[in-house]
């Protein structure tokens, strides 16, 4: 049987940008997040819950049997 497992992790990404002030810097990163490359990343921790989705033979998710585990 196949399962799709969802792990939730905390990821810290650090960006360096030019801006007139801290608010403008944050707004720029927020507005352009998908276009920026972080200068540093760090995987900090797993969050306590994981989602488990059993898959049907055709690869679709059997949501009626999905569950959460701590």
Q: Which domain holds residue 23?
A: 3-61
In a domain, 70, yes or no: no
| Torsion angle of C-alpha atoms 32, 13, 26, 34, degrees rounded to 10 | 10
Predicted TM-score (pTM) of the model is: 0.62
In a domain, 66, yes or no: no
Quick one: pLDDT at residue 46?
85
For the chain, what is the domain count? Answer: 1
As a whole-number percent, the residues of the chain with pLDDT over 90 amount to: 90
Specify burial of residue 50 (Cβ count, 10 A radius: 0-12, 13-18, 19+). middle
In a domain, 69, yes or no: no
Tell me the mean pLDDT in the region 12-16: 97
In a domain, 67, yes or no: no
């Amino acid at each position: 049987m196949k399962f799709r497992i969802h792990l939730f992790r905390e990821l810290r990404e650090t960006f360096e940008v030019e801006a007139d002030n801290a608010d403008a810097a944050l707004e720029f990163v927020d507005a352009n997040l998908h276009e920026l490359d972080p200068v540093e990343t760090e995987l900090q921790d797993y969050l306590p819950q994981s989602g488990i989705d059993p898959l049907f033979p055709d690869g679709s998710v059997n949501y009626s049997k999905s569950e959460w585990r701590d």
